[in-house]
Amino acid sequence: MRLGVLTGGGDCPGLNAVIRAIVRTSAERYDSSVVGFRDGWRGLLEDRRTPLENNDHNDRLLTKGGTMLGTARTHPDRLRAGLGRIREVMEDNGVDVLIPIGGEGTLTAASWLADEGIPVVGVPKTIDNDIDRTDTTFGFDTAVTIATEAIDRLHSTAESHQRVMLVEVMGRHAGWIALHAGMASGAHSILIPESPFEVDRLCSEIKSRFQRGHHSYICVVAEGAKPDPEGMTLRVGGIDEFGHERFTGVAHQLGAEIEKRINKEVRTTVLGHVQRGGTPTPFDRVLATRFGINAAIAAHEHRHGMMVSLQGQSIGLVPLAEAITRLRTVPAERYREADFRASPEPSRAGAPVRSEVLNGV
């Protein structure tokens, strides 16, 4: 058997560990070969292939960030129009099963290919941790670790200058990085996409903290966080060619509002792509390796149309079609849990989440 591998969407710590595990498992357990396609779906459509060998170079991939295959975004229309070309390229390369590694867009494309009869096994990848039907995804732990270390460092400079610090982290539609990094670093408030935040309430909390004699205030803001429209309006960035919202910098705009309303000096730090660069944490290396091993096994066992997922401590398989039905977002009870002053409320499925997490004292 021969497997084909590609990485789609944004890069992510742990991608190389997945590739390494697929190659090793295929070679040593099944005596199978693996071919990689460069730059995601584009490389598959253009037949830009590279053999992936089980050698010393492959072993050294475990600690390297990014993806050795490169990655790129391809418009869904081009992919749909290229179905015949995909079949042709797979046949020319003797590829029996395709293993796409990626986030929501990549897995949606993989599910569509499975529906069209292409043998596919998906591997979830997103530092935002927003893929459904898996407890976590590799890259998330690395992103949280980097963000936490950065916020830890900002505490001392914020206290020295008696400043308000806003730290913007990744999280387009889900606030997992903000929630975990904020809790781990002892941030005083956390703003996430799942809950519109109230600017006046945040300003009141900041003023109250300084009036109690504290010397700093740190707020972690997910890039997709949005204010209550009655409090402030963010600049509109429009939609890109792939249908994604262009963000205009919520933390910078919020910082200007805070300074204007309470006359307090605010500094904003946008961590951006530093969160997904560099060496993956040991947790992400292990999870990525387990995903790669089990993806290779599923491919050889003809478990097509499935996605590998972490379920408790075990790696299982779930249908791709189920994994892409919705995003995995922060539940209301997890958000309230971070607020030490919040009264416990019964969990209600589908209940709206309000901006109540202002957890620092």
d(CA 181, CA 222): 10
- Report the alpha-carbon distance of residue 300 to residue 73 in Å, rounded: 28
Q: Is 2 buried (19+), middle (13-18) or exposed (0-12) by CB count in 10 A?
A: middle
| Under 8 Å between Cβ of 15 and 62 | no
Q: Residue 20: CA atoms inside 13 Å, Cβ hemisphere, count?
A: 24
Instruction: Tell me, rounded to whole angstroms, the distance of Cα 297 from its chain centroid.
Output: 25
Stated as kind and residue range, the H or E segment containing 133 is none
Instruction: Return the structure tokens found at 17.
Output: 């560990």
Can you read off the two tokens belonging to residue 165? 């610090």
How much is the CA Rg of the chain, to the nearest whole Å? 22
Tokens of 332: 């209301």
Residues identified as active-site: 128
3-state per-residue secondary structure call for 85-112 = HHHHHHHHCCCCEEEEEECHHHHHHHHH
How far is residue 55's CA from residue 301's CA, in Å, rounded to a whole number? 24
Q: Which two tokens stand for residue 208?
A: 């109250």
Q: Which has the closest alpha carbon to 312: 134, 60, 112, 142?
A: 134
